[in-house]
Amino acid sequence: MIVGLTYDLRDEYLAMGFSEDETAEFDRESTISSVETTLAQLGYQTDRIGHIKNLVDRLGKGDRWDLVFNIAEGMYGEGREAQVPALLDAYRIPYVFSGPLVLALTLNKALTKIVVKDFGMATPDHAVIYGPSDIPSVNLPYPLFVKPLAEGTGKGIDPDSVIDGPEQLEKKCKELLVRYNQPVLVETYLSGREFTAGIVGTGDQARCIGVIEIILKDNAEKGVYSYVNKEECEERIIYSLTDQEAVDACSELALQAWKCLRAEDGGRIDIRFDHQGIPHFLEINPLAGMHPEHSDLPILAGLNGIHYRELMKMIMDSAVKKVKNIVHA
């Protein structure tokens, strides 16, 4: 079976003149080569495609693949993560991970929270700031937490994201609106323990493969799993197995969120406790990082005894069912 690889390679964008911040979500060469090598070990023939414009060129030339392993995050537009799967759908080429509906919805953290809340899950109350005139109408109790509406990898998140009063709220929201040129999500600040849960599979076949606690070391930026803490996770973060009670509560919430959002094949849900120890949904990552040592999903799988190759096999076994569906359609 020929598996195409779609991805945004960070070095390629840096060479084009994009900044470190603009390319923070994109993948390192070592991630792509790990995925490629592991797919080969699992018996798949691989073909590197790269970003969406390469995909368009290749499709135009008539190239096709049995399946595409898609981890392209996209550069432009509020549907940036949905673009590759939408294009592949048009050509009836099946792909690994979620489709355009899920990837467009979940890139918007506020709309995702509304859906999750409607299914009865706990998630912090929120407001969305589209422009400076929206700031005075925020009517939530402090402390608050602010972050860009549609980013990942901790972009725009640092200890100043925790907001204690209106002046700080105005300053930080204005700064984020300008810097990221997108709305700002304001949420109630959750002060409790933090976890991330890994899911593999789709629908009824989905299962939680592990929950880990994110523990900040003394030299980490305080109170948040920030951009700097993520980038320097080897020095600043302890990824830890945790007590069964927390594992059960987080896996239940994560699996429920995964199923209600109809995410596919594999990914992560981020969860934080409030001051009473009640788990809240923070966000879902249906395109979770796949670096074997640096990304949270492989790290949590490893801590739960699932090696990288086994994780990749679980994800591929889920995705391959889509190939069969198309063949028999």
Ligand X SMILES: Nc1ncnc2c1ncn2[C@@H]1O[C@H](COP(=O)(O)OP(=O)(O)OP(=O)(O)O)[C@@H](O)[C@H]1O
Could you tell me the smallest distance in angstroms from the CB atom of residue 153 to Mg ion? Answer: 8
Contacts of 49 by beta carbon, 8 Å cutoff, 6+ apart? 4, 5, 6, 55, 58, 65, 68
Of 13-32, which residues contact ligand X (CB under 6 A)?
none
CA 109 to chain centre: 11
**Please, which residue, 206 or 214, has the CB nearer to ligand X?**
214
Residue 224 within binding range of ligand X, rule CB under 6 A? yes
Count Cα atoms within 13 angstroms, Cβ side, for 248: 3
Q: Is 272 helix (H, G, I), strand (E, B) or coil?
A: strand
- Look up residue 203 and give its DSSP letter: G
Give residues in contact with Mg ion (CB under 5 A): 270
Nearer to ligand X, 36 or 296 (CB): 296
106 contacts 284 by C-beta, under 8 angstroms = yes
- Six-digit token pair at 111? 């709309």
Q: Binding ligand X by CB under 6 A: which of 272, 291, 313, 322? A: 272
Asked if 306 interacts with ligand X (CB under 6 A), we say: no
Q: Is 148 left (phi over 0), alpha (psi -120 to 50) or beta?
A: beta
Nearer to ligand X, 32 or 186 (CB): 186
265 binds, among Mg ion, ligand X, none (CB under 5 to 8 A by kind): none
- 168 Cβ contact partners less than 8 Å away, ≥ 6 residues apart: 160
269 binds, among ligand X, Mg ion, none (CB under 5 to 8 A by kind): none
Q: How far is the CB of 191 from ligand X (least distance, A)?
A: 7
Angle at CA 225, nearest 5°, toward 286 and 222? Answer: 170
* Residue choice 36, 187, 221, 264 for contact with ligand X (CB under 6 A): 187
> Site for ligand X (CB under 6 A): which residue of 31, 285, 295, 318?
285
User: By CB under 6 A, how many residues form the interface with ligand X?
Assistant: 21
Helical axes 83-90 vs 52-60, angle rounded to 10°: 10
Shortest distance (Å) from residue 260 CB to Mg ion = 18
Element (H, E) at 46: strand 45-50
Is residue 81 near ligand X by the rule CB under 6 A?
A: no
Site for ligand X in 120-159 (CB under 6 A): 124, 145, 147, 151-155, 157
Please identify which residue in 105, 200, 282, 301 interacts with ligand X, judged by CB under 6 A: 282
Question: For residue 95, what are its two tokens?
Answer: 């792909």
Residues near ligand X, by CB under 6 A: 124, 145, 147, 151-155, 157, 187, 189-190, 194, 224-225, 230, 270, 272, 282-283, 285
